[in-house]
Chain A
């Protein structure tokens, strides 16, 4: 069974540019989560989808971040415009049932110069 995949693995952009990260969850998992780790700190929750609906987006830092999950399959996380403090590793996770164990992808390392 394929695990959670994320694309790209690395992205380097300049301040003010736009970047879109993609996550493909494990097949059949209705629940999809986004997390990020910045500046060597703890991994922090961003938001949670159930199918294509946002269940909890309390962790989204500001309105420069937009997450979508059209069709309830893969998800994208767009940062527009990117700021220096957005640099970090963005992880995606999925689970078959909400509130249960979450399975993480390898992450996308975002560097904003």
Chain B
């Protein structure tokens, strides 16, 4: 059965303190892995798509990497506005309609 597990559930950092969020996945025939950001009361906002092991994508202070079993979202020198829930999701080739989400990591950055 497809599974997406994110850790930690919650993470509190000081402004400027770099860290990483983990997403472990079990899926047959990975088509793509996605990272989304979700603010309270809003829908998920697309950040990155990764398609193959070894691939990396960057956007401002965020960098996403992918291996055959997990993905990391690295946050460098975060700012308070980076506080949000970060969602990892996967998509299979055989069921390309749907995205399977993890439960998310709630990130809080203290000034």
Contact = CB atoms under 8 A, between A and B. Distances in A.
Q: Do A and B come from the same complex?
A: yes
Interface of A: 4, 33, 35, 41-45, 47-48, 55-56, 58-59, 91, 93, 98-107
Contacts, number: 59
Interface stretch (B19-27, B63-71, B75-83, B94-102): B94-102
B72 interface: no
Nearest to A44: B101
B97 A104 contact: no
Most buried by A among B49, B91, B99, B103: B99
B87 interface: yes
Interface residues of B, number: 24
Contacts of B91: 99
Closest 4 CB pairs of A and B: A99-B96, A45-B98, A104-B43, A48-B97
B45 to A, nearest CB: 7
Nearest to A92: B43
Given A4-B43, A104-B44, A106-B42, A41 B103 contact: yes
B102 A42 contact: yes
A44 to B, nearest CB: 8
